[in-house]
Amino acid sequence: MSLSGQRAGIAAPLTDGVSYAEPSMAGAGDYLALMKPRVMSLVVFTALAGLVVAPGPMHPVLAFFALVCIAVGAGAAGALNMWYDADIDAVMSRTSDRPVPAGRIRPGEALAFGLVLAGFSVVFLGLMINVLAAGLLAFTIFFYGVIYTMWLKRSTPQNIVIGGAAGAFPPMIGWAAATGGIGLESCLLFLIIFFWTPPHFWALSLYRCDDYFRANIPMLPVAPVGVAPWLLGTAGLVYGCIAMLGGAVMVVLALQLYRAPKGASEPVAKRLFGISIVYLFVLFAALLFERALGLAQFGLPFGRVVA
Amino acid sequence: MSFVMDPQPIEPGIVLTEEQKRRRRSRSIAIAVALFVFVVLIFAVTLVKGPGVLVRPL
């Protein structure tokens, strides 16, 4: 069997005439790769931040179970993405060795794997934690698998702007798992990742693509949104300082990239891509450590006014 | 007079290579581990939630 149904406008695959091994040559590692473990780790980290920052206690076992469900749900979305994008993956050197285009896992197996994981993660999050968190997880999988992968990714250059919402939901799901509701604070955590996503991926595409276009990098929103949890009293002074400093660095790098002459922007784009990862990680790590050390009480009091 | 039945030829079927056997084993172990973790998790959550395991807020 070969990768059939090549869609119009897609270059020929790098691996000529993909054939699927019979019996299967897929190892456990191939199924793990289908779940995009690096994306999963970021999802778990941000969902953990949502769980920890949320008010009210949650039993550690239930919190761990919720995180496992969210992680498996993210893995399901990754598998569905790899199933649908096998034709695209086959033409890019970075992705041509993924399990489906490389012929180790059949497209149908990847689809079944993704659907089963999605079903299990949503049903058990709903049965054991709460229905709102399960509903949000189901919507996130649908958004990533259908809205982003099947529709936006192939139809508009703004795909990552809207599709970034899928990666921004995990802290909101964590918050919903802990509280059973959606608060203003969880919306802020959502917005931080939502506004962080475009500059992060555009920086990646700027040094990955030969023929790039100068994108309008929406850097300004992410800096003030990153500080908002401190202004509203959800986070403390340590977080506030890190958010201001990190936001300023991101804005400076974005401006450098914007002003860089054509052909000399690759090093700046690489730096912005690397710093953007550190920025998001440090921001959410600060939230976690403030809670662990009891420093969140040093937040500004505007949150009480808003509440 | 007796009829001697010809022995049925034994078809080898699909013969797995060593690499395929190794990968099948790794898949089997992964399924076993995943099932075990799943059962332990459900058991732990059931213990934590107690009799109200099916009582959950919206």
**pLDDT tens digits for range A29-43:** 999 999 999 989 989
Distance from CA of A252 to the nearest CA of B (A): 44
Token representation of residue B2: 């007796």
Distance from CA of B8 to the nearest CA of A (A): 26
pTM, two decimal places: 0.80
Cβ contacts of A13 within 8 Å, gap of 6 or more: A3, A6, A87, A90, A91, A96, A101
**pLDDT tens digits for range A87-110:** 888 888 778 889 999 888 999 999
Cβ contacts of A241 within 8 Å, gap of 6 or more: none
User: Which regions in chain A score pLDDT beneath 70?
Assistant: 1-21, 206-224, 295-307
Backbone Cα Rg of chain B? 25
Asked whether A125 and A177 are in contact (CB, 8 A), the reply is yes
Q: Which residues of B touch A (CB under 8 A)?
A: 14, 16, 19-20, 22-24, 26-27, 29-30, 41-42, 44-45, 47-49, 53-54, 56-58
Among residues 84-143 of chain A, which lie with CB inside 8 Å of chain B? 124, 126-132
- ipTM of this complex: 0.74
Asked whether A199 and A72 are in contact (CB, 8 A), the reply is no
Alpha helices in B1-58 (DSSP H): 18-49
**pLDDT tens digits for range A227-250:** 778 777 778 888 888 888 888 888
Kindly determine whether residue A24 and residue B26, on different chains, have CB atoms separated by under 8 Å. no
A56 part of contact set with chain B, CB < 8 Å? no
